[in-house]
Amino acid sequence: MAVVDAQSRTRVPELVPIRYGRMTESPFRFYRGAAAIMAGDLATTPVSGIRAQLCGDAHLLNFRLLGSPERRLVFDINDFDETLPGPWEWDVKRLAASLVIAGRENGYSAKERSVIVRAAVRSYRERMRVFAGMGNLDVWYTRADMEELRPLADRRLGAKGRDRLSGMMTKARTRDSLHAFEKLTRPRDGERRFAPDPPLVVPVDDLLRGRQRDTFVTELHKLVDRYGRSLSTERRQLLRQYRVVDIARKVVGVGSVGTRCWILLLLGKDDKDPLILQAKEADHSVLARYTGESEYNNQGQRVVAGQRLMQAVGDVFLGWDRVRGLDGRQRDFYVRQLHDWKGILVPQDMVPNGMRVFAELCGATLARAHARSGDRIAIAAYLGGGPVFDNALSDFAESYADQNERDHAALVSAVKAGRVTAQAA
């Protein structure tokens, strides 16, 4: 509770109860918001001494379908709010524990959960050995193209699983700026504007008034201009072809609830040419206390640099800036597209075999991400060719799932006792 309370003190006060509300829903939702708690726990565990760029929050829902700049659907890691260099084992342990926690929520047996975790860790270990034998450029160019992976997945998922994967891929291709534009906006005064959906989406005109509103809107307009400097020259030119027409505050995720997050509606040549950007506050990584601070002064730059290093492909509008808030404090932000062919494979819909296939893909993807920055030969040598590490991580994941349930119960008790307020949203 001390860790969660400390994070809450830096967040937007009226949104903190939403975070607590989401985290109390289930042990799995609690786990998604408890990266800082687990970082402290992991810091007490033995490590090999080999470091790599970490995601910092590598639970299974942060692996998903994404769109490449070439408009190919790929599978990759998505969330990098906590990224920093650190012990590679920490990402693997966070992934492994998330699989057990999700498996318990789905009612899987202990044997089924163990098979899933060991499959994920074995996939990580075996792929790292493959990467150890590859050249640097070959590692760098490796990506999980879903059209290439689909035949293999189809053979292992069965008819129902194949249909579900096909539907998810089709749906992901529709989740772009035009889809977000239709979903989040409505006509007003002759132009499209963000539709209010408080407290999850609140247009800036409903949030602020008068000079305060004008000052803040001006600052966010400047953010778009300035953040363009963090893009490559051709992408900067593309950004200049759009103009900002509306701004709203948006609540996102579980662990991120309460951080300052703004969505910006930009239009190009006409109303059918939208671009929706998300400017999200970047604070110090939860890992920094244990691994050392980032080499970057701007926390938004830390996020962007980590994402560019770990992802095989990236958002063409990914960049960073620093903004002065209404309270006079300067805060770091990173900017990206709100939707860019994103698709989530929901664990609650998976049967054990489906989650096993998904876990293997997550393990291989994490290995590729670590191989780009860490000493892949040393990691592969440490892991070896046998199942010792796989089995150890299976035991660890079950043990940590027990701890997570106790931590979740502590938050539920704090809400019932009135120590903190939880709000459903």
Among residues 337, 364, 396, the one where a domain terminates is 337
pLDDT band of 135, cuts 50, 70, 90: very high
Mean pLDDT across 93-103: 98
Residues 11 and 152 placed together within one structural domain of the fold: yes
Quick count: other Cβ atoms within 10 Å of Cβ 418?
7
Among residues 337, 358, 375, the one where a domain terminates is 337
Residues 101 and 25 placed together within one structural domain of the fold: yes
Residues 55 and 154 placed together within one structural domain of the fold: yes
Specify the pTM: 0.94
Would residue 425 count as lying in a domain?
no
| 12 contact partners, CB below 8 Å, separation of at least 6 | 258, 259, 260
Among the ranges given (61-65, 127-131, 175-179, 239-243), the one the predictor scored with the smallest mean pLDDT? 175-179
Residues 15 and 164 placed together within one structural domain of the fold: yes
Q: How many domains does the structure of the chain reveal?
A: 2
Signed CA dihedral, 95, 339, 85, 259: sign only: negative
Residues 153 and 213 placed together within one structural domain of the fold: no
Would residue 397 count as lying in a domain?
yes
Higher pLDDT, 219 or 84: 84
pLDDT band of 231, cuts 50, 70, 90: very high
Which tokens is 48 given? Answer: 């090999």
Q: Is the predicted pLDDT of residue 156 greater than 80, yes or no?
A: no
120 close to 357: Cβ distance less than 8 angstroms: no
- Sequential DSSP letters for 272-283: TSEEEEEEEE--
**Residue 56 to residue 161: CA distance in whole angstroms:** 30
Percent of the chain with pLDDT over 90: 77
Question: pLDDT tens, 330-371?
Answer: 999 999 998 777 777 778 888 899 999 999 999 999 999 999
143 close to 313: Cβ distance less than 8 angstroms: yes
Would residue 74 count as lying in a domain?
yes
Residues 67 and 47 placed together within one structural domain of the fold: yes
Among the ranges given (68-77, 130-139, 414-423), the one the predictor scored with the smallest mean pLDDT? 68-77
Higher pLDDT, 347 or 133: 133
pLDDT band of 258, cuts 50, 70, 90: confident
Among residues 302, 320, 337, the one where a domain terminates is 337
Residues 196 and 291 placed together within one structural domain of the fold: yes
Residues 107 and 236 placed together within one structural domain of the fold: no
Residues 193 and 151 placed together within one structural domain of the fold: no
Residue 229: which domain range?
A: 177-337
- What is the distance in angstroms between the CA of the first residue and the CA of the last residue of the chain? 21
Which regions of 97-197 does DSSP assign to beta strands (E)?
144-145, 185-188, 191-194
Whole-number mean pLDDT of the chain? 93
Q: What is the pLDDT of residue 348?
A: 81
Residues 252 and 181 placed together within one structural domain of the fold: yes
Instruction: State which amino acid sits at residue 299.
Output: Q
Residues 244 and 375 placed together within one structural domain of the fold: no
268 close to 245: Cβ distance less than 8 angstroms: no
